Amino acid sequence: MKPWRGDTRTTLLPALVWTVNASSVSANVAVYLYCAHVVLRQTGSVFLSSLVFSAQWVLPIVLGAFVPRINARWSSRSVIAVAVLLELLVLVALPGVRMSIVPFVIALVLGGLELVVKVTRLVLLKECSAPDLLSRHVAVTSTGQFVGAAFGGVVFALFVSRPLAALAVALLVLYLTALTCAVLLPVPAGSGGARRGADDRRGSIRMAVVAMAADGLLVRGLVGLVAVSGLLQGFHNVARVDLPGSAWGAGDAGVGLLQAVAAGATVLGAFAFSARPKLFARTGPLLAATVVSVVTMCAATLPQGLGPGLVVYGVYIVFFEICFMSYQAVVAQRSSVEAISSIVSVQFIMVNVALAVLITAGGLLAEVAGIGVTAVVFGAACLLLSVWCARRPAETEVGRRSEVPTVPTAT
C-alpha cells in the first residue's frame, strides 16, 4: 500500500524532496569549493586542492554496501533528517579549515552523508509515489541536484571574499531549509522493517558479478559508464578550482561561474539525450559525442578569456552528460528486474572508486605536467575505452525509457 496517496502530502512530496536535495547539495558544494580554495591559496598546490574533491568519494565507496542496511532499520524520513542534521553540524569545523587536515576531514564526512541522502531519497520516492507517478517524481527531484550544484557555486562566489561568518550564515540557512523539509516528509507504512530488510540482505555483489559474467554488453556498458565518469567528470573535479585562474585569467568569481555553467550544461545534456535517446544508442553518434566532449575539454585548458572559456567548458560538459546517460541506459536495459538494484549498487561503488583514484592522479599530474597535459591524457584514455565499448551489436537498443534513476553528475 502506498501511504499518502490522495493526501495533500502526495502533491507536496516531490517539492519537499526537491528542496531537501537542492538545499543540502548547494551547501555541500559551497563547502567543498571553499575548502579546496583555502588549500589552494595556502599551499599553491593543485594536487592538494584536488584531494579535497577526492576525499568526498572515500566514504561513499566504503558505505555503498551499508546504506541499504541503514534504510532497512529506520524510516527514510528519519535517515534523511539525521543525515542533513549531521551535515549542518559539520559547520562547527569550518573555523578550523585553515588547519592542514580539517578541509579533507570536512569533505570526507560530507561526502558520506551526501551519499546517504541521495540513496534514501530514491527509496522514499519509491515507497510513497504512485506507480504511474514514480518516473515523473524521480525526474523532477533529480534536477535539484543540478540546481543545488549551480547555486552552491554562486554562494561560494558571493561569499568567498567576505568574512567566514557570512558564509557560515548562508550555509546555515541552506541546511536548515533542507532539515525543515526533511522533517515534513512522510513516513511510509512498514518502512525500516523486516519487509524491506529481507530484500536488502540479498548478496548484492554476488548478484551483480553473476549478471556481468553472463552478459558482455552489460560489462561494456559499465566500463563505458566508469570511463566517462572517472575520466571526463574526474577532470572536471581537478580543473574547476584551478582552470579559471590558470588559463582564463579570472579571479575567485570565475570558480563559481564555472560551477554554475557546468551545472546548467549537465541539465542541458540530460535534456538533449532525453529528446533523442535512440540516436545516441547508435555507435556512431555516441562516439562522436565522446570526441566532441574530449576535444572541448582539451580546448578549455588553452589561454583564453573567461567568456570563451566558459562556453567551451559548457560544451564539454553537455556532451559528457550525453555520453553518461547513454551508457547508463545500456546498463539499465541489460539488467534484469531481479538484479538491477544489485548492479546499480556495484556501479555506484565502481564509479566512486574511479573518481577517487583518477581525481587524485589527475591532481598530481596537473601539479607536475600542467592542466593541459592532464586533459590530453584523460581524453586519450577515455577515447580508447569508448572505442572498445563501441564493439557491440548495432541492434542493441538502449533508447527505451527506464525506471532506473541516474547518478547525478558534474557536481
Do residue 19 and residue 108 come from a single domain? Answer: yes
Of 150, 173, 201, the position where a domain reaches its end is: 201
Do residue 197 and residue 207 come from a single domain? Answer: no
Q: Cell numbers of 216, please?
A: 558482455
Element (H, E) at 389: helix 371-389
Do residue 69 and residue 210 come from a single domain? Answer: no
Do residue 261 and residue 184 come from a single domain? Answer: no
Do residue 31 and residue 147 come from a single domain? Answer: yes
Alpha carbon distance 115, 25 (integer Å)? 11
With contact defined as beta carbons under 8 Å apart, do 293 and 320 qualify? yes
Alpha carbon distance 324, 328 (integer Å)? 6
Write the CA distances from 195 to 19, 43, 123, 198, 378, integer angstroms: 29, 51, 13, 6, 45
The answer to pTM > 0.75 is no
Alpha carbon distance 272, 275 (integer Å)? 5
The pLDDT tens digits along the chain (411 residues) read 344 444 545 568 889 998 999 999 999 999 999 999 888 888 888 788 878 887 887 887 777 667 767 776 788 899 999 999 999 999 999 888 887 788 999 999 999 898 888 877 877 877 787 766 665 666 567 667 777 877 888 898 888 888 889 999 999 999 999 999 999 998 866 555 444 444 444 445 677 788 888 887 888 888 998 999 999 999 998 888 788 888 898 877 788 788 778 878 887 887 787 777 778 878 889 999 999 999 999 999 999 999 999 999 999 999 998 898 788 777 767 766 556 556 766 777 788 888 888 988 998 899 899 999 999 999 999 999 999 988 754 344 444 444 444 444 545
Do residue 39 and residue 61 come from a single domain? Answer: yes
Do residue 279 and residue 263 come from a single domain? Answer: yes
Q: Where are the alpha helices (DSSP H) in 93-183?
A: 102-128, 134-159, 164-183
Do residue 113 and residue 256 come from a single domain? Answer: no
Write the CA distances from 9 to 2, 15, 120, integer angstroms: 12, 10, 18
Q: Per-residue b/e over 76-115, b at no fewer than 16 CB within 10 Å?
A: bbbbbbbbbbebbebbebbeebeeeebbbbbbbbbbbbbb
Write the CA distances from 289 to 265, 284, 317, 326, 369, integer angstroms: 14, 9, 11, 10, 27
Q: Cell numbers of 144, please?
A: 535539484
Do residue 264 and residue 192 come from a single domain? Answer: no
Q: How many domains does the chain have?
A: 2
C-alpha angle 138-143-146 in degrees, rounded to nearest 5: 140
Q: Cell numbers of 103, please?
A: 578541509
Q: Check which CATH number belongs to the domain holding 23 and give it.
A: 1.20.1250.20
Query: Domain range for residue 11?
Result: 1-201
Of 201, 217, 234, the position where a domain reaches its end is: 201
Task: State the DSSP code for 406.
Answer: P
C-alpha angle 224-226-228 in degrees, rounded to nearest 5: 65
Do residue 209 and residue 192 come from a single domain? Answer: no
Do residue 175 and residue 271 come from a single domain? Answer: no
Of 174, 201, 228, the position where a domain reaches its end is: 201
Do residue 271 and residue 309 come from a single domain? Answer: yes
